[in-house]
Structure 1
Amino acid sequence: MSEKAQADSPQSQWDDTPIAEAARRAARVVTGSEQLPRPDRARVFTIANQKGGVGKTTTSVNLAAALSRQGQKVLVIDLDPQGNASTALGVEHRAGTTSSYELLIGEAEAREAVQASPGNDNLWCIPATIDLAGAEIELVSLVRREYRLHDAIRRGHIEEEGFDYVFIDCPPSLGLLTINAMTAAEEVLIPIQCEYYALEGVGQLLGNIGMIREHLNHDLHISAILLTMFDARTRLSEEVAGEVRSQFGEVVLRNVIPRSVKVSEAPGYGQTVIDYDPGSRGALAYFDAARELARRGDYQPHATTGAIGVSPEVARQLNDTQDGE
């Protein structure tokens, strides 16, 4: 067949469609043919936003799954008593299961609580059980109550197990569970939904992160902000995205997560959207966001930006400005 005949054939026209391209990308996700270089050392994230319903758990499990499908060894620590991250990763979290609760109160070590996510050799989870609901009261009287999670995972466990990324999913409040998450992590990723009142509570969250950074964990900083529930058909989503980018600059990931029925359906099947429907818009968006997060590395804050990270280029500009004064 001539080149012109091949180009005009129905099969060739099908191969050039957006659906075909999505199918090819989905196949690369499933087979793990797209690989990322491993970071020099483990990156530990707290996924935080005091506002509920912004996609914290969804972001935690899907970024974790996307990175694991690209050759990274990833651990998700579920610190939310609802256990939604545990459900999405398909791990056991009935009452009595060794979980993050036993880890925090000192009744188990991390290696005893961790479970492999079914069907994914690179993805692991320390689940949450309903027992975690009363943990804050029990933690009050314990030694190093703000550092219980830090002591459980940062004293060798992460390095011994060779994890590349750790995502800690916390409840939507600033109690001892969230404080434990923030003393155990260095990076904070904030999901912000593209809806009304998107920035409501973010100012308070920044203040809380600043206090923890000052008094409990000097290395804590905001290294990424992810826009979720983006609807390109509405002016509101565009306006919210523009407002967030103008306020926080390049720490906001370029890739955004669209509204997606598949993202919402996946946890009901005990799966992430990466495994439930790898060709869906939501899965590919999380896949791209994970690649961006990995490739750009950790955005450290500048002396003039508080806890908010900046790109290396912006850091150089700020240094030049200071030197010129």
Structure 2
Amino acid sequence: MTTTLALANQKGGVAKTTSVATLGAALADLGHSVLLVDLDPQACLTFSLGIDPEDLTASVHDVMVGHRSASEVLVGTEDGPDLLPAAIELARIETEFAAVSGRERLVATILEALADEGITYDWVILDCPPTLGVLTVAALTAADGLVVPLQCETLAHRGVGQLLDTVHDVREHTNPLLAVWGVLPTMYDGRTSHARAVLETIAETYDLDVVSPTIPKTIKFAEAPAAGRSILATARSSKGARAYRDVADWLVVRAARDA
């Protein structure tokens, strides 16, 4: 059975894309089949996995507007997961589908079309754009669970309430089974009282689980995209790589609990 997980936070710079790429690689290392879907017009996930968006002949945008099938756009990555890549054209979706009925099912329709072709995965991980627009709502509509990557700084968590309001709306109208799996603390420095206080505030204010372990700050994350690989390939023994492998184990346990 496929588990579809959205990683979303309308605040940029919270290591959302890094988390998608690394968790995808970690789950693949565990023997799971994984599909990553880049839903951010900035295409950072696509670039981070060694694919230049400007060199693409087709992207997930072409699938959404009906010009290509999803299977035609799928590409493999060196880290193991398959990828539905993005390009800047994806930014048009917000206007192209702004008044289109059923736009909330844009992502679900893609995944269903792949399944109809016999292409299925153990995990589908959706990299949402840093907005609460059409693409994020479509991702939440398609997802079984939501993980919120969050930098442990005061300004970084101010938008969590708005995201949870969107989750409430999605549950009401398009996906009643959407579960919030928790907050994933990223760029965490446990030596500072500020980081610890922000983490405690999030858990208390929004009554959310905190995914364990926290993801530490390390320069290794900044170095990985230049190689077109995740940190699991470029710095496998680093504390950041170890943390993401532990989070992947946590996700597997959580998915089994919900199955």
TM class, shorter-chain normalised?
over 0.9
Report the equivalent of 1:34: none
| 2:178 partner letter | L
Structure 2 match to 1:10: none
CA, structure 1 residues 221+298, in 2 after alignment: closer, same or farther (shift >3 Å)?
A: farther
After superposition, where does 1:267-282 map in structure 2 within 5 Å? Answer: 267-282=225-240
Q: Deviating runs (4+, > 6 A) in structure 1?
A: none
Q: What pairs up with 1:77-88 in 2 under 5 angstroms?
A: 77-88=37-48
Conserved? CA contact 1:105–1:139, under 8 Å: no
User: 2:143 maps to what in 1?
Assistant: 185
Which amino acid in the other structure matches residue 85 of structure 2?
Answer: P
Structure-1 residue corresponding to 2:26: 66
User: Kindly, what percent of the aligned residue pairs are identical?
Assistant: 36
Higher RCO (C-alpha 8 Å, min separation 6): 2
Q: Distance in 1 between matches of 2:116 and 2:142?
A: 11
Secondary structure of the 1:198 match is: helix
- TM-superposition CA deviations, 1:137-183 (whole Å, max 9, x none): 11235452221221111245288223111111111111111111111
Distance 1:298 1:181 in 2: 21
* Counterpart Cα distance in 2 of 1:176 and 1:299: 30
Q: 1:65 to 1:96 in 2, by over 3 A?
A: closer
Who wins on radius of gyration, i.e. which is larger? Answer: 1
Q: Which amino acid counterpart does residue 71 of structure 1 have in structure 2? A: G
Partner of 1:102: 62
Structure 2: which 5+ residue stretches go unaligned? none
Q: Does the 8 A contact of 2:4 with 2:144 survive in 1?
A: yes
Aligned match of 2:202: 244
1:112 aligns with 2:72: yes
Tell me which residue corresponds to 1:297: 255
Q: What's the TM-score once normalised by structure 1's chain length? A: 0.74
Equivalent in 172, 177, 180 of residue 222 of structure 1: 180
Structure 2 match to 1:125: 83
> How many pairs align?
258
Give the aligned CA root-mean-square deviation in angstroms: 2.0
Where do 5+ consecutive residues of structure 1 fail to align? 1-40, 301-325
Residue 246 of structure 1 and its aligned partner are, at CA, apart by 3.2
* SS of corresponding position for 1:297: helix
CA distance in structure 2 between the aligned counterparts of 1:135 and 1:294, rounded to whole angstroms? 32
In structure 2, do the counterparts of structure 1 residues 72 and 110 end up closer, same or farther at CA, with 3 Å as the change threshold? same
TM-score by length of 2: 0.92
The one-letter amino acid paired with 2:127 is D
Go from structure 1 to structure 2 and tell me whether the alpha carbon gap of 1:111 and 1:194 turns closer, same or farther (over 3 Å shift).
same
C-alpha displacement of 1:196: 2.3
Q: 1:47 to 1:263 in 2, by over 3 A?
A: same
Q: Which amino acid aligns with 2:201?
A: E
Return the letter of the residue paired with 1:258: P
